[in-house]
Amino acid sequence: MNKDIVISLQHLSKSYDGKQVLDDINLDIREGEFVTLLGPSGCGKTTTLRLIAGFLAPDGGKILLDGKDISGVPPYRRPFNTVFQRYALFPHLDVYDNIAFGLKLQKVPTDEIDKRVRRILKMVSMTDYESRDVESLSGGQQQRVAIARALVNRPRVLLLDEPLAALDLKMRKDMQIELKEMHAQLGITFIYVTHDQEEALTLSDTIVVMNEGRILQAGDPVSIYNEPQNAFVADFIGESNILNGRMIEDRRVEFLGHEFDCVDEGFGENVPVDVVIRPEDVYIMHKLEGSQFSGTVKSCTFKGVHYEMFVDTDKGYELMIQDYNAFEVGSTVGLLIRPNDIQVMRKERVRNSFDAEIVDAGHISLFGSEIECAAAAAFAPGDKVRAMVDFDKVELVDHQEDGQFAGEVHFLLYKGDHYHLTVLTEDGDHVWVDTDDVWDKGDLVGVNFASENIKLEAVK
Amino acid sequence: MTVKRSSWALPYLIFLILFVALPLVMIAVYAFRNPQTGAFTLENFAKFFSTPHDLNTFLYSIQVAFINTLLCLLIAYPAAWILSKSSFNRSKITVMLFILPMWINMLIRTLATVALFDFLKMPLGEGALYFGMVYNFLPFMIYPIYNSLEKLDNSYVEAAQDLGATPWKVFWKVTVPLSLPGVWSGVLMVFMPTISTFAIAELLTLNKVKLFGTTIQENINNGFWNYGSALALIMLLIIGLTTLISDEDSARDSEKGGLI
């Protein structure tokens, strides 16, 4: 057992009202580390933090502090302190008494409390605010008091729940720097929850990317950015072009209709993969010699430091490219991608695959309803089967009632020439769809599987 | 012809002048006049302070009001606290049950209490008086406290736990202070009417216990308008004083609890 590890989450799970919000979370947090739990809202990051703080009890799994299980220890006996999203400063106490609250409970001598409160106020640049009413403070000042109130107790671990979410951009940037300085100065372990990927990249030693109650990837910011392990992480962290590709052999991959050299090995031959190209990693030039493929500039927008361009490639894909130079809209450009800049990821799935049951020669039961399926004739009623539907064979319709199943567009990914959607059905099943049509996140849709497009496979 | 919006308030203004302001002025005028000559005088007040019987009734009334308020608070706070826990009170039906007696006329409730004591062969008297008062005024204490507890943001409780407070400490250091505006509202709504109550005392003690309200009523009924007015004015003064004290305390948090 590693002595460095302060907190270890082991197989944590939690559900609310039958809905699984955390599923088998495993994470080791080292002493003095700045760990960020990053993900979209509802991904389980705040739940994880609340489990560590002790406000929630896990349904399964363990939370170890220095190797000892603290799952049953109430929050007031855990050596952690929290900075709450809405600060939760006590409105009936002034700044001084808010900060001294924890120390008074610990029966620290008055002069020592006084010394520590003043020192921490100085650290968060709030000296002379001792007797101010907390409600008379600005958002940024309240934030500082909230941080001071937590840090003054010298916790083993500081938990921060989206502490900067309510501040404006400029203030947020300033506080990020200050938080990082405090972390370096105090050496306390920080566990930070945010949905802001830039904040996570700026602050963290380790980023833990979460989605739908699972940890997708954990690692330092550079590796998370450069080597995302799946399309969700690539899309969530920074800007990226995510494309369908095919691994031809080791160190050789095909995408955008061309073959490229790459550095990845061990995928096998002719295996479908996802390819991530960061927009700043595409080299764009006026001349075509020396380029790997060509394209036409469709739009060019100044973004401060760089220009952001959308380029239609010669094989009909769209690429986002960032460069310090502007290229004229309509001009033909040469494009080049270096082997090192190609990030190849195994596809999580290549088609939809569901558990289903044969009803009769023409129907199967899927997600609890009966739908037509020509292939059912080959099986006997009652047989359990895997029903498979290609991504591009799923039909989406505008009105939920026109579909065999009602769903909601949950996540979308642009793949250069089409969209890859994740649709969440009413019963919580996932259906993945490739489509040329434009849908938005949150759109309510009907999902149809045409009888002839459902392939069946016996389950042994 | 267009009617200005401010003129809509006219009927209310007339009502207020006729039934609130005018009676108050009349009480003040009567209180400072000699019953025979009608001249300005302080003798009505002097009479109060030199009549031990009335003075004692007054002090006793304040004591009863004080004890009643305390009893109501002691019973109402835990009740309101339990009610505000969502697990116990999902449908708010339990709150309704506590508030329900407020919809029934006070006299009917008091007469029912008398009947209940008779039925149980329990003697009427001071004990019955307190029972009746608490029974009558409890909802007025529960509701504002429940209101302020229900609105209390759970993140304050969590923040206190997080800073090392045991559930007991959380209650005393966070829950109670943050529910004080509700407590003050409840105290006002119980204390003020109790001072002037007389029906409950008359019915539940068979006139054995006399409260200040009764003293005022007797004087007015027997034609001592000037003396009765002076007594009423003294009582108003006391009520005004309690309102002032509590106002100072809860002015800052007025938007969080306040009167119902």
Give residue-wise pLDDT tens across range A130-158: 899 999 999 889 999 999 999 999 999 99
A102 touches chain B (CB under 8 A): yes
Candidates B162, B168, B253: best to mutate against A (most CBs of A within 10 A) is: B162
pLDDT at A320 over 70: yes
Residue A69, token pair as written in the block:
């299980």
Torsion angle of alpha carbons A246, A250, A251, A256, nearest 10°?
-10
Q: Tell me which residue has tokens 């039958």.
A: A18
What single DSSP character describes residue B2? P
A153 touches chain B (CB under 8 A): yes
Pick A88's closest partner by Cβ from B156, B180, B253: B156
- Give the per-residue pLDDT at A24: 92
Average the pLDDT over B165-180 and give the result: 93
Q: Single out the residue of A379, A378, A374, A384 nearest to residue A449, CA to CA.
A: A374
Helix (H, G, I), strand (E, B) or coil at B122: coil
* Mean model confidence pLDDT for chain B: 85
Pick B166's closest partner by Cβ from A54, A76, A101: A76
Are A55 and B165 in contact (CB < 8 Å)? no
Candidates A17, A73, A90: best to mutate against B (most CBs of B within 10 A) is: A90
pLDDT at B253 over 60: no
Distance, CA of A274 to CA of B114 (rounded, Å): 84
More confident residue, A116 or B197: A116
A99 touches chain B (CB under 8 A): no
pLDDT at A19 over 80: yes
> Which of the four pLDDT bands, split at 50, 70 and 90, describes residue B89?
low
Q: Which residue of B has its CA nearest to A86?
A: B155
Q: Work out whether strand A369-372 and strand A363-366 pair parallel, antiparallel, or are unpaired.
A: antiparallel
A53 touches chain B (CB under 8 A): yes
pLDDT at A34 over 50: yes
pLDDT at B254 over 60: no
CA dihedral over B69, B71, B74, B78, signed as positive or negative: negative
Q: Which residue of A has its CA nearest to B174?
A: A90
- As a residue count, chain B comes to 260
CA distance B160 to chain A (A): 8
**Residue-wise pLDDT tens digits, A85-132:** 888 999 999 999 999 999 999 999 999 999 999 999 999 889 889 899
pLDDT at A378 over 90: no
Q: Which residue of A has its CA nearest to B157?
A: A88
User: Is this prediction's ipTM beyond 0.90?
Assistant: no
Distance, CA of A326 to CA of A309 (rounded, Å): 8
pLDDT at B75 over 80: yes
Average the pLDDT over B195-211 and give the result: 83
Distance, CA of A420 to CA of A396 (rounded, Å): 12
- Give the per-residue pLDDT at A2: 60
**Residue-wise pLDDT tens digits, A71-84:** 889 999 999 999 99
Distance, CA of A129 to CA of A145 (rounded, Å): 9
Are B163 and A84 in contact (CB < 8 Å)? no
- Give the per-residue pLDDT at B87: 66
Average the pLDDT over A322-342 and give the result: 94
B174 touches chain A (CB under 8 A): yes
pLDDT at B257 over 50: no
Q: Which residue of B has its CA nearest to A80?
A: B162
Residue A286, token pair as written in the block:
């006026």
A108 touches chain B (CB under 8 A): no
- Give the per-residue pLDDT at B131: 92
- Give the per-residue pLDDT at B102: 79
Lowest mean pLDDT: which of A54-58, B244-248, B250-254?
A: B250-254
User: A297-322: b or e for each residue (b if 16 or more CB lie within 10 Å)?
Assistant: beebeeeeebbbbbbebeeebbbbbb
- Give the per-residue pLDDT at B249: 58
CA distance A212 to chain B (A): 25
Are B173 and A101 in contact (CB < 8 Å)? yes
Are B155 and A105 in contact (CB < 8 Å)? no
- Give the per-residue pLDDT at A338: 94
B166 touches chain A (CB under 8 A): yes
> Which of the four pLDDT bands, split at 50, 70 and 90, describes residue B192?
confident
B28 Cβ partners below 8 Å, 6+ apart? B229, B233
Are A76 and B253 in contact (CB < 8 Å)? no
A46 touches chain B (CB under 8 A): no
Q: Which residue of A has its CA nearest to B249?
A: A92
Candidates B163, B170, B184, B252: best to mutate against A (most CBs of A within 10 A) is: B163
User: Which residues in chain B have their CB less than 8 angstroms from residue A86's CB?
Assistant: 153, 155
- Give the per-residue pLDDT at B88: 63
> Which of the four pLDDT bands, split at 50, 70 and 90, describes residue B123?
confident
B155 touches chain A (CB under 8 A): yes
Helices (H), A106-261: 110-123, 139-151, 169-186, 197-203, 221-226, 231-236
pLDDT at B61 over 70: yes
pLDDT at B150 over 50: yes
Q: Which domains does chain A have, with CATH numbers?
A: 5-231 (3.40.50.300), 238-346 (2.40.50.140), 352-458 (2.40.50.140)
Percent residues over pLDDT 90 in chain A:
67
- Give the per-residue pLDDT at B248: 63
Main-chain phi, psi angles of A350, to 5 degrees? -110, -15
User: Which residues in chain A have their CB less than 8 angstroms from residue B153's CB?
Assistant: 86, 88
Distance, CA of A226 to CA of A278 (rounded, Å): 8
B158 touches chain A (CB under 8 A): yes
pLDDT at B194 over 70: yes
Average the pLDDT over A309-327 and give the result: 93
Distance, CA of A47 to CA of A14 (rounded, Å): 8
Pick B164's closest partner by Cβ from A53, A76, A88: A76
User: Which residues in chain A have their CB less than 8 angstroms from residue B165's CB?
Assistant: 76, 101, 105
- Give the per-residue pLDDT at B15: 94
> Which of the four pLDDT bands, split at 50, 70 and 90, describes residue B258?
very low
- Give the per-residue pLDDT at A168: 87
Q: Which domains does chain B have, with CATH numbers?
A: 59-250 (1.10.3720.10)
- Give the per-residue pLDDT at B259: 42
Prediction pTM value: 0.81
Q: Answer for the pair A278, A321: CB distance below 8 angstroms, yes or no.
A: no
**Residue-wise pLDDT tens digits, B131-142:** 999 988 998 999
Pick B158's closest partner by Cβ from A55, A77, A150: A55
> Which of the four pLDDT bands, split at 50, 70 and 90, describes residue B91?
low
